[in-house]
Structure 1
């Protein structure tokens, strides 16, 4: 079962007794838990109806005992269990001996008055473990992984519509490029933009650029985009703005190196027919960043990307040894790159 199907079932009142939520998208996991909470417990019952556990501190049998205990003053309980070792290949630093047979037995005969949600903030489950296989057979394992580039744009567009606004052409991409790919951050920025635009208002690229501040990393990202499109003056203006913000030239150079390294990796993996999601998993970045890096990489051949990285390595050495003044050295590099 996927998360979308699980949400549809919950809205229809079809709640499973056990869920296993895993993935790196904490915001989506929290949204799922919020919706589940609304359907399982009434607001006035939540002091007694929601029970948290952490398996790094508590054995699994204590969770099962809580699930089997009849609720006090509430019709149903929601048991939220944070895990980092039972369902993954990670090790329990506190070396708690979890009696997993108790959980397996409970899965065969769960109570009607308890809903258990196991929360694993990691990319993978340990498929070799019997408890993971049993949970998958029960059909309640939900994956919350980063959205693809297209899905992220659709998510931003939909969230704006939910707030009573519309995004003009290019505004969704502008927001993601300015704010990054974290859903929690994007949601907060959309709240601000919707408040500014008003009910039924339109949010365009100009409004996004005015209201959504870019981080240093995002500024470097845009700087390289300007260079790739031969807009050297805009790229240099971004560099000067970073200097006014007292950003260290060595740090800026390191971020530039990182982006060009990603571009090279995306280009090479793309030539090997890797998908966007596979590339993202392989090099450990968000799929949207893969999409944009791929677009940037098309402006450079593989040989030039390698030469740029070699030049950046030499520049880093010169800046750190004092062979060249840092601000001037990076400015000259940008001029050379733009040429």
Structure 2
């Protein structure tokens, strides 16, 4: 079932007796689960009629006993099984409960893995009598749109550069992005604009010296500015670890390389990036030939090996500076 439809049904009090929420993207699983709990059961009733179990700390037998309970105060007995994937070899033991005509209990299963055996009887019960939601990781272009929409939901506005900085620093972790956005709401007024300065002040990213700006400087073959940014980053490597910086730059130049092969046809769709970002990639791609782009990919792989200590004892700062020199001076 589609995420928006599930949320709409919950808002309209259309509640299923059983929910199976599974997939790689934890954010939507947590959001649906929390929304269900808050809709079905009042805060004052949670102590009596809400039971939350975690796969690592629970047994199927204890969960089954909880499912058999009648609600004490609320209309429903709500049972939530989180980390259900940890118990995947034992979930079939819930089939006896799932076979019944469930009246007094709501079961929410949160299974945070992208693969679930759809041939099993356990899955078939949800397919027949409940709601199944697969929470997939978003592509880059979808994340950009999600950030924009989420900011709007929070009553604020955001500019293009701030979206890019948030995505570059926080990647595809929607929970992390959402937490940072919520920090902004505290000290901002409705309809205020989130700018680079706001991001720096409220969240702590430097608007001029960050690996998003490093990426841009490398794309322009600007060695002087690249080294300036690296000098700042080297003092903040706990916030800007190489294990994050190198894959980010690799992803950037990988897209530049793809542009060389794809030409100008449906680039945003083919690269899975937002049209917001597309022009930056196109402009940078003009600064490198195909052969130079291929060399840069090999430089980045080499830097990754050095960062892992393979045939190298270079410092993180030296690895970055060498990489910047090679990229901006590639021929």
Taking structure 2 as the reference length, the TM-score comes to 0.76
2:247 aligns with: 258
Q: What SS does the corresponding residue of 1:19 show, helix, strand or coil?
A: strand
Q: Tell me, in whole angstroms, the C-alpha distance in 2 between the residues paired with 1:203 and 1:44.
A: 37
CA 1:333–1:62 in 2, change beyond 3 Å: closer, same or farther? closer
List runs of 5+ in structure 2 lacking aligned partners.
Answer: none
List runs of 5+ in structure 1 lacking aligned partners.
Answer: 93-97, 281-286
Contact persistence 2:140–2:172 (CA under 8 A): no
CA 1:268–1:121 in 2, change beyond 3 Å: closer, same or farther? farther
Aligned length: 316
Q: Tell me, in whole angstroms, the C-alpha distance in 1 between the residues paired with 2:103 and 2:185.
A: 42
Q: Residue 17 in 1 paired to residue 7 in 2?
A: no
**Which stretch of structure 1 is more off in the superposition, 45-54 or 230-239?**
230-239
Q: Residue 49 in 1 paired to residue 62 in 2?
A: no
How do 1:82-93 residues align onto structure 2 when only pairs under 5 Å count? Answer: 82=82, 83-85=84-86, 87=88
Q: Tell me, in whole angstroms, the C-alpha distance in 2 between the residues paired with 1:46 and 1:245.
A: 44
CA positional deviation for 1:76: 1.3
Contact persistence 1:168–1:204 (CA under 8 A): yes
Q: Residue 203 in 1 paired to residue 191 in 2?
A: no
Q: What SS does the corresponding residue of 2:74 show, helix, strand or coil?
A: coil
CA 1:30–1:259 in 2, change beyond 3 Å: closer, same or farther? closer
**Which stretch of structure 1 is more off in the superposition, 150-159 or 308-317?**
308-317
CA positional deviation for 1:145: 2.1
Q: Residue 335 in 1 paired to residue 325 in 2?
A: yes
Q: Residue 165 in 1 paired to residue 136 in 2?
A: no
Q: Tell me, in whole angstroms, the C-alpha distance in 2 between the residues paired with 1:11 and 1:259.
A: 39
Q: Tell me, in whole angstroms, the C-alpha distance in 2 between the residues paired with 1:128 and 1:264.
A: 41
How do 1:292-331 residues align onto structure 2 when only pairs under 5 Å count? Answer: 295=281, 298=285, 300=288, 303-311=291-299, 327=317, 330-331=320-321
Contact persistence 1:148–1:277 (CA under 8 A): no
Q: What SS does the corresponding residue of 2:110 show, helix, strand or coil?
A: strand
**Which stretch of structure 1 is more off in the superposition, 48-57 or 306-315?**
306-315
How do 1:85-104 residues align onto structure 2 when only pairs under 5 Å count? Answer: 85=86, 87=88, 98=90, 100=92, 103-104=94-95
Q: Tell me, in whole angstroms, the C-alpha distance in 2 between the residues paired with 1:301 and 1:78.
A: 60
CA 1:242–1:65 in 2, change beyond 3 Å: closer, same or farther? same
Q: What SS does the corresponding residue of 1:45 show, helix, strand or coil?
A: helix
Q: Tell me, in whole angstroms, the C-alpha distance in 2 between the residues paired with 1:148 and 1:38.
A: 29
How do 1:1-339 residues align onto structure 2 when only pairs under 5 Å count? Answer: 1-56=1-56, 58-82=58-82, 83-85=84-86, 87=88, 98=90, 100=92, 103-214=94-205, 219-245=210-236, 252=242, 257-259=246-248, 261-262=250-251, 295=281, 298=285, 300=288, 303-311=291-299, 327=317, 330-339=320-329
Q: Tell me, in whole angstroms, the C-alpha distance in 2 between the residues paired with 1:52 and 1:75.
A: 17
Contact persistence 1:49–1:74 (CA under 8 A): yes
Q: What SS does the corresponding residue of 1:197 show, helix, strand or coil?
A: coil
